[in-house]
Amino acid sequence: MLPLSLLKTAQGHPMLVELKNGETYNGHLVNCDTWMNIHLREVICTSKDGDRFWRMPECYIRGNTIKYLRVPDEVIDKVQEDTKSRSDRKPPGVGRGRGRGREDTSSKAKGIGRGMEDGGGRGGGRGRGGVSGGRAGGSRGGGRG
């Protein structure tokens, strides 16, 4: 699965974005592109130290300033359906030889078993809202400061 497919699937979901400068942005993903540039709505920005906050209705973040993105757990399950239906429609061999990589991974019996287990655990154990996730990120930044 491609990271950018997961990101695209996360459209409409809350997420936390940490930038290379240590600032974090919590908001709902409106859109993204192949450079990982992202457009967020209803944003809370937290300073590197986690001690200052700004609210903004929307913001646009250039992809190359991003360190990582934290997306809700359930989004990963939605991607798989997406890529499956898309690859069904496409003839094999189209699209820069990506097909081969997918073949390799899907042929791993080991991986499939683990995936099922993990899926169950995730559903039962962990639920978290976008905002509380954001707080955790912010305070962690402060601790490491």
Partner 1 sequence: MTDLKIIGNRNSQQQPDIKLLRLLVDKKMATDAGLENLVDQIISVITNDGRNIVGVLKGFDQATNIILDESHERVYSTKEGVQQLVLGLYIIRGDNISIVGELDEELDASLDLSALRAHPLKPVIH
Does 76 engage in binding with partner 1 (CB under 8 A)?
yes
- Alpha-carbon span 89 to 138, nearest angstrom: 42
Q: Which listed residue (81, 105, 120, 132) binds partner 1 by CB under 8 A? A: 105
Contact between 32 and 4 (Cβ < 8 Å): yes
- Alpha-carbon span 16 to 3, nearest angstrom: 15
Q: How far is CA 47 from CA 7, 17, 20, 60, 96, in A?
A: 24, 12, 12, 17, 40
Pick the piece of the chain touching partner 1 (CB under 8 A) from 23-31, 50-58, 84-92, 98-106: 98-106
Structure tokens at 76: 């990963």
Pick the piece of the chain touching partner 1 (CB under 8 A) from 23-31, 53-61, 85-93, 104-112: 104-112
Does 126 engage in binding with partner 1 (CB under 8 A)?
yes
Does 89 engage in binding with partner 1 (CB under 8 A)?
no
* Smallest distance, partner 1 to C-beta of residue 45, A: 19
Instruction: Give the residue from 63, 118, 110, 86 showing the smallest Cα distance to 5.
Output: 86
Closer residue to partner 1, CB minimum distance, 54 or 68:
68
From residue 35 to residue 74, the character string flagging contacts with partner 1 as x (rule: CB under 8 A) and all else as - is -x--------------------------xx-xxxxxxxx-
SS3 call for 144? helix
Angle (CA) 15-20-25 rounded to 5° is: 30
Q: What does the binding site for partner 1 look like in residue numbers (CB under 8 A)? A: 1-7, 20, 36, 63-64, 66-73, 75-76, 100-101, 104-105, 108, 110-111, 114-115, 118, 121-122, 126, 128, 133, 136, 140, 144
